Amino acid sequence: MPKRKDMKKVLIVIAVALASSRTLAQTPKLNIKTRHGLPMEEQRKEQMERLARQYDLKKFTITRDIMIERGAMNHSYPLLTLNLRFLDNDDLALSAYAHEQGHWVLMERHRADNPALFQDLQRAFPNMEIQVLQGDGELRSSYFHIAVCMLEWQAMEDLVGPERARKVIEWKQGDHYKSIYSTVLGRREQVEAVLNRYGVKW
Ligand SMILES: [Zn+2]
């Protein structure tokens, strides 16, 4: 029988090992700034920092530089910018983060694939409506958004599980990019088949 003291030592070693392996898997340090330093911008920043601790966003963090800006449209480039929407809804806030990071996946890793990827998506889903609310108003970027929204859904499944992830994507389908989210929800296999051809993934 090991002595009580030795057992305690063993348990401490195990605890330290577990803690450090958890640290390794965690979200890299995010550099989050607020545009105007407004209290609600600070709140959104704190929400993102909390989510980055609560969830392992490592895989879903291509750029670590984040701006919080009241009244901005969420966008990815040149600086990933998030507005104050979804302060009261962590799942939607997480999905906004994953969505904008999804744009970075295409920009950082698939710049050379993009022309062919666009053609493939257009061929697979011809005549998708692209006017605002259905798409984003622009042909090419509406088609790229099929890839981005698929990445967003995959990220959410990984982070919060399939049920909550589907809820988020269905909510978004009713809110904006309706045709794009409908395509992703209704024809997931075809979307993933196109993305797989180019190795588009997290
Ligand atoms: Zn987008």
Q: How far is the CA of 9 from the centre of ligand 1 (A)?
A: 51
CA distance 43 to 55: 18
pLDDT digits (tens, 9 = 90+) for 93-113: 999 999 999 999 999 999 999
Please give the distance of CA 195 from its chain centroid, rounded to a whole number: 16
Q: Are 98 and 58 contacting, i.e. CB atoms less than 8 angstroms apart?
A: no
Tell me if 169 is assigned to some domain. yes
Tell me if 77 is assigned to some domain. yes
Q: How far is the CA of 175 from the centre of ligand 1 (A)?
A: 13
Tell me if 57 is assigned to some domain. yes
Q: How far is the CA of 55 from the centre of ligand 1 (A)?
A: 22
Domain total in the chain: 1
The band of 10, judged by pLDDT with boundaries at 50, 70 and 90, is low
Q: How far is the CA of 38 from the centre of ligand 1 (A)?
A: 25
187 pLDDT more than 80:
yes
The band of 26, judged by pLDDT with boundaries at 50, 70 and 90, is confident
Three-state DSSP state, 134: coil
Tokens 């920043």 -> residue: 45
Q: How far is the CA of 157 from the centre of ligand 1 (A)?
A: 18
pLDDT at 14: 56
Average model confidence (pLDDT) across the chain = 92
Task: Look up the domain containing 47 and give its range.
Answer: 4-197
Q: What percent of the chain is predicted at pLDDT more than 90?
A: 87
Q: How far is the CA of 194 from the centre of ligand 1 (A)?
A: 19
Q: How far is the CA of 99 from the centre of ligand 1 (A)?
A: 6
21 pLDDT more than 70:
no
pLDDT at 143: 98
The band of 84, judged by pLDDT with boundaries at 50, 70 and 90, is very high
63 pLDDT more than 70:
yes
Q: How far is the CA of 172 from the centre of ligand 1 (A)?
A: 12
Kindly state the average pLDDT of the residues 153-182: 98
Tell me if 122 is assigned to some domain. yes
Three-state DSSP state, 128: coil
pLDDT at 152: 98
Tell me if 202 is assigned to some domain. no
Q: How far is the CA of 77 from the centre of ligand 1 (A)?
A: 10
pLDDT digits (tens, 9 = 90+) for 139-149: 999 999 999 99
pLDDT at 202: 98
Tell me if 184 is assigned to some domain. yes
Q: How far is the CA of 58 from the centre of ligand 1 (A)?
A: 20
Q: How far is the CA of 54 from the centre of ligand 1 (A)?
A: 24
179's enclosing H/E stretch is helix 178-186
Q: How far is the CA of 13 from the centre of ligand 1 (A)?
A: 45
Kindly state the average pLDDT of the residues 155-177: 98
DSSP code per residue over 62-120: S--EEEE-TTPPPB-SSSEEE-STTTT-HHHHHHHHHHHHHHHHHHHH-TTTHHHHHHH
CA distance 76 to 25: 24
24 pLDDT more than 90:
no
Q: How far is the CA of 82 from the centre of ligand 1 (A)?
A: 11
Please say whether the dihedral angle defined by the alpha carbons of residues 187, 189, 190 and 194, taken in this order, is positive or negative: positive
Q: What percent of the chain is predicted at pLDDT more than 70?
A: 88
pLDDT at 20: 47
Tell me if 161 is assigned to some domain. yes
Kindly state the average pLDDT of the residues 168-187: 98
Q: How far is the CA of 50 from the centre of ligand 1 (A)?
A: 23
Q: Are 51 and 57 contacting, i.e. CB atoms less than 8 angstroms apart?
A: yes
Q: How far is the CA of 145 from the centre of ligand 1 (A)?
A: 6
